[in-house]
Structure 1
Amino acid sequence: MTTAPADPGPTVTTNIPARLDRLPWSRWHWTIVIGLGTVWILDGLEVTVVGNIAGRLSEPGSGLAISSGQVTGLAAALYVAGACVGALFWGRMTDRFGRKKLFMITLAVYLAATALTGLSFDAWWFFLFRFLTGFGIGGEYAAINSAIDELIPAPYRGRVDLMINGSFWVGAVAGSLLSIPALNTDFLAADVGWRLTFALGAVLALVILLVRRHVPESPRWLMIHGRDREAEQVVSGIEQRIEEEQGRPLPEAHGEITIHQRRAVSFLEIGRTVFSDYRKRAVLGFSLFIGQAFLYNAITFGFGAILTKFFHVPADHTGYYFVVIAVGNFLGPLLLGKLFDTVGRRVMISTTYLLSGVLLFGTAWLFDQGALGAGTLTACWCAVLFFASAGASSAYLTVSEIFPMETRAMSIAFFYALGTAAGGISGPLLFADLTGTGNIGDTVLAFSIGAVLMCVAGLVAALLAVNAERRSLEDIAKPLSAVAAKAKAASAGREGGIAPPSSSPA
């Protein structure tokens, strides 16, 4: 399932992947998690804040001539479009020019665009920089997920990836709580509070940017792109730091891989690899992203309307219910993440998808029977999203690890753009109309559509998911540049030689 490189360079044999995968969890790995992973908190903060300030922006004295519908409609659509375009554009650049260069650039784009959004003086300016903010955050998904998976040891890759992707909901909670004082005119003027929320996002991005300076380039990427001396220096430096921290020598690394070093991979080769050589895995990626996109939209696009129309919850109180749901979303990946590395990918991906779908069916039935109130419906949503959030996070993990190294960032970008477009285009068109009618049957139908697609994705995962737990990335999908490999696997972790320390994440 590999393709010979069109521009083979020198042939080298290396044990760098094995050396990275046999590392015990350390303070250095926490630096990677903080430097690269915390950007999802910013994404959650960004999306939630914009939704919460929509009403304020449309009021006289906000300093911006814009309607609430334009903020939640056109501006939201532009943010989604920017994220899709950014993912594809920066994903290609990430595979070609490196992880570190691009995760610095994409965060800088996000920082600048967020700060300039806060300076909006007219609607066109606000719309432009909402698009550019999305353009930056879309690139982050490709650059960050590929870098994290290539730097985190195989025994911990699943739980770390899920925890990081799930941290979006920490930002969502923070955005909801931040909006309360920021929009209170007793504290801040109507044309100041909403601007400060964007300024805070820019400040947090700047802090993360400073931390990221200490995150190295992926040694795996350096190795394939003819920079094996730099790769050796990076890995040796990491090993030295961890040995000093542990106070003992590291275990021997087992497994080597031989590659033809190369500079670039064509779009044709990427397409042929993902959609021909790995077509079953492509079907899996499609199913996981579409399923989670529609389930989330079945709930979130009708969230406020359902609470206000059916249960008469005041509009300014729906944010409290959202905080509860967001907490449930974060706890799913946090508490279930370790099981993706121990019980296994296939079992956990299919189980979380199927459970969330079945629970949403149950919620739809109870809602149709009139058996739920605002609190009990929110509790049902929490149960659904506890499992759905872990499943959705595993979708990003899956497409990051099941395709060859040379196509990793572009694969993440493609499936992310697919899921985002489905959520940001099809979702509003379908679910906003259904849940906004005030008809119980229409809302039940919306829930059922999301549940069906989630269950279908779970069944696809049961058949096609890859048992990637505790395995080297090179073992899961051999690099296109690989020409030979040693008989032993490149991951000591999957041989049972490394037990997770008590300080391991999640």
Structure 2
Amino acid sequence: MPITAPQPGTVTTAIPARLDRLPWSRWHWTIVIGLGTVWILDGLEVTVVGNIASRLSEPGSGLPISSGQVTGLAAALYVAGACSGALFWGRLTDRYGRKKLFMITLAVYLGATALTAVSFQPWWFFLFRFLTGFGIGGEYAAINSAIDELIPAYYRGRVDLVINGSFWVGAVGGSLLSILALNTGILAKDVGWRLTFALGVVLGLVILLVRRHVPESPRWLLIHGREQEAEQVVSAIERQVVEEKGEPLPRPLGEITIHQRQSIGFLTIARTVFSRYRKRAVLGFALFIGQAFLYNAITFGFGAILTKFYDIPADHTGYYFAVIAVGNFLGPLLLGKLFDTVGRRVMISSTYLLSGLLLFGTAWLFGRGSLDAGTLTACWCAVLFFASAGASSAYLTVSEVFPMETRAMSIAFFYAMGTAAGGVSGPLLFADLTGTGKVGDTVLAFQIGAALMCVAGLVAALLAVRAERRSLEDIAQPLTAVTGGAASASATP
């Protein structure tokens, strides 16, 4: 008997409310590990490449390439790959499902990373740096969509922030790993840098094995005419949670009626984001541009600042970067819960404004000559403690304030925009300012990043959506919704 595709209809369901009323469980930890830990790989990858640039350019590295080509052309190609990958895979994620795409994008990332490790000519290295970025760009859209749709509303903010902030755990590992890879007393010049890429592949394969057990988003299944599959997924999750907790689940609050559709046109998505939700689009732009320029004001030129102004040896800057990366991760980790309790508007605006003001203060102290390498690093840590929580909340914002059908594409668009601003115009601007060796130029770089962060904070104070502990369907009603919306998940599980 031939298998026929499910036909869309109109259904009334409590599936979103059933997911949002679940208490935290081992099943949710599986989601976090299977989907969220890929950012650790991204942080490790980006940091390692920047730190091993000098080794790759040395005779005997096995690759005839200059340090400038690694940090310049290869980095630009990685950024271009991430931007184009986000847009390409983001559209497919909304159309074909979260699970299918987060398996494919991780496979692309792993394959490209493995082939980078065996580079024998610059063109090969450049090609697979682009494809690595192409895969990781798709990960941002597919993963953030799936996480938001599977994690209960009560925990969504803190989980999103910690997962996006885990990039910096990888950055710490990348900094320390690059120190090992650069030690020719342990690893040969043409071996160490290859093993760092190979390690990323091994870690990614472990994540891939865990990810096989992550289900498709029931919300996506429901909207695309596959309500029976959605019911099976949610029922299985509920059984696991009940068995673990040993008590019945609370009654779900609210139902939603959906007129199912197998696909949503691109023009419909664009009109929804930029016309119906114009203010939220402005908010997304402001948040991504602000954090992109602040991070480039600090992290892009941190090595040059330390070596030129404080005579720190180039092979020791990795230790300072590891300290900065720890500060970056602690921000989302320690502040994340407040985004669910104090609220999105207060926390987003305050983290942006505080980081901007602190960077203004750092610029003033740096200009006066009041800082040494250690105290400047401490100032950077304080700035990035708040900035990292703010930057992570930018991803949270664009993933929860637009309708279900546009979610992955919205994440992809704003991620691509922010990445392009940070990875193209940011380095061009800040490389010129921090590379002159003049105190005034570096102060100006800090001030530009600080000003844009403060502007974004003011925009958030006016436009940020009060999304804490609310169902995604309450925050932005699905385009396919016929009437009503899921009840707000405001009660403590």
CA contact (8 A) 1:11 1:261 kept: yes
The letter of the residue matching 1:301 is: F
Deviations 1:83-110 (A, max 9, x none): 0000000000000000000000000000
The letter of the residue matching 1:106 is: T
SS where residue 480 of structure 1 aligns? coil
Written as runs of structure 1 = structure 2, the 5 A alignment for 1:111-260 is 111-260=110-259
CA distance in structure 1 between the aligned counterparts of 2:19 and 2:349, rounded to whole angstroms: 29
CA contact (8 A) 1:58 1:68 kept: yes
CA distance in structure 1 between the aligned counterparts of 2:141 and 2:269, rounded to whole angstroms: 15
Which residue matches 1:401?
400
Written as runs of structure 1 = structure 2, the 5 A alignment for 1:70-469 is 70-469=69-468
Which residue matches 2:4?
none
How far residue 46 of structure 1 moved from its aligned partner, in angstroms, is: 0.3
Q: Does structure 1 residue 490 correspond to structure 2 residue 487?
A: yes
SS where residue 257 of structure 2 aligns? strand
CA contact (8 A) 1:57 1:68 kept: yes
The letter of the residue matching 2:307 is: T
CA contact (8 A) 1:17 1:490 kept: no
The letter of the residue matching 1:434 is: L
Written as runs of structure 1 = structure 2, the 5 A alignment for 1:35-74 is 35-74=34-73
CA contact (8 A) 1:41 1:168 kept: yes
How far residue 54 of structure 1 moved from its aligned partner, in angstroms, is: 0.4
CA distance in structure 2 between the aligned counterparts of 1:328 and 1:301, rounded to whole angstroms: 16
| Residue segments in structure 2 that go unaligned for 5+ positions in a row | 1-6
The letter of the residue matching 2:380 is: W
How far residue 490 of structure 1 moved from its aligned partner, in angstroms, is: 2.3
Which residue matches 1:4?
none
SS where residue 296 of structure 1 aligns? helix
How far residue 30 of structure 1 moved from its aligned partner, in angstroms, is: 0.3
CA distance in structure 1 between the aligned counterparts of 2:436 and 2:366, rounded to whole angstroms: 15
| Residue segments in structure 1 that go unaligned for 5+ positions in a row | 1-7, 500-506
Deviations 1:53-88 (A, max 9, x none): 101110111110000000000000000000000000
The letter of the residue matching 1:361 is: F
SS where residue 154 of structure 1 aligns? coil
SS where residue 258 of structure 1 aligns? strand
CA contact (8 A) 1:41 1:170 kept: yes
CA distance in structure 2 between the aligned counterparts of 1:121 and 1:321, rounded to whole angstroms: 32
CA distance in structure 1 between the aligned counterparts of 2:188 and 2:142, rounded to whole angstroms: 38
CA contact (8 A) 2:89 2:141 kept: yes
Length-normalised TM-score, structure 1: 0.96
The letter of the residue matching 1:131 is: F
CA distance in structure 2 between the aligned counterparts of 1:35 and 1:375, rounded to whole angstroms: 37
How far residue 316 of structure 1 moved from its aligned partner, in angstroms, is: 1.1
CA contact (8 A) 1:361 1:447 kept: yes
CA distance in structure 1 between the aligned counterparts of 2:397 and 2:307, rounded to whole angstroms: 37
How far residue 189 of structure 1 moved from its aligned partner, in angstroms, is: 1.2
The letter of the residue matching 2:137 is: G
CA distance in structure 2 between the aligned counterparts of 1:189 and 1:319, rounded to whole angstroms: 20
How far residue 183 of structure 1 moved from its aligned partner, in angstroms, is: 2.0
| Consecutive aligned runs of 4 or more in structure 1 exceeding 2 Å deviation | none
SS where residue 64 of structure 2 aligns? coil
SS where residue 155 of structure 2 aligns? helix
CA contact (8 A) 2:179 2:318 kept: no
CA distance in structure 2 between the aligned counterparts of 1:361 and 1:23, rounded to whole angstroms: 43
Q: How many residues align?
A: 487
How far residue 181 of structure 1 moved from its aligned partner, in angstroms, is: 1.7
CA distance in structure 2 between the aligned counterparts of 1:9 and 1:103, rounded to whole angstroms: 24
CA distance in structure 1 between the aligned counterparts of 2:258 and 2:233, rounded to whole angstroms: 19
How far residue 254 of structure 1 moved from its aligned partner, in angstroms, is: 1.0
The letter of the residue matching 1:323 is: A
The letter of the residue matching 1:490 is: A
CA distance in structure 2 between the aligned counterparts of 1:314 and 1:254, rounded to whole angstroms: 60
CA distance in structure 2 between the aligned counterparts of 1:230 and 1:312, rounded to whole angstroms: 61
The letter of the residue matching 1:399 is: V
CA contact (8 A) 2:327 2:381 kept: yes
Length-normalised TM-score, structure 2: 0.98
CA distance in structure 1 between the aligned counterparts of 2:208 and 2:484, rounded to whole angstroms: 37
How far residue 188 of structure 1 moved from its aligned partner, in angstroms, is: 1.3
SS where residue 155 of structure 1 aligns? coil
How far residue 213 of structure 1 moved from its aligned partner, in angstroms, is: 0.4
The letter of the residue matching 2:272 is: T
CA distance in structure 2 between the aligned counterparts of 1:459 and 1:248, rounded to whole angstroms: 45
CA distance in structure 1 between the aligned counterparts of 2:217 and 2:313, rounded to whole angstroms: 50
SS where residue 192 of structure 1 aligns? helix
How far residue 117 of structure 1 moved from its aligned partner, in angstroms, is: 0.1
Q: CA RMSD in A?
A: 0.8
How far residue 127 of structure 1 moved from its aligned partner, in angstroms, is: 0.2
How far residue 9 of structure 1 moved from its aligned partner, in angstroms, is: 3.6
Deviations 1:445-492 (A, max 9, x none): 000000000000000000000000000000000000001126xx523x
CA distance in structure 2 between the aligned counterparts of 1:79 and 1:133, rounded to whole angstroms: 7
CA distance in structure 1 between the aligned counterparts of 2:384 and 2:187, rounded to whole angstroms: 35
How far residue 421 of structure 1 moved from its aligned partner, in angstroms, is: 0.1
CA contact (8 A) 1:15 1:490 kept: no
The letter of the residue matching 1:433 is: D
How far residue 312 of structure 1 moved from its aligned partner, in angstroms, is: 1.1
SS where residue 251 of structure 2 aligns? coil
Which residue matches 1:480?
479
CA contact (8 A) 1:260 1:482 kept: yes
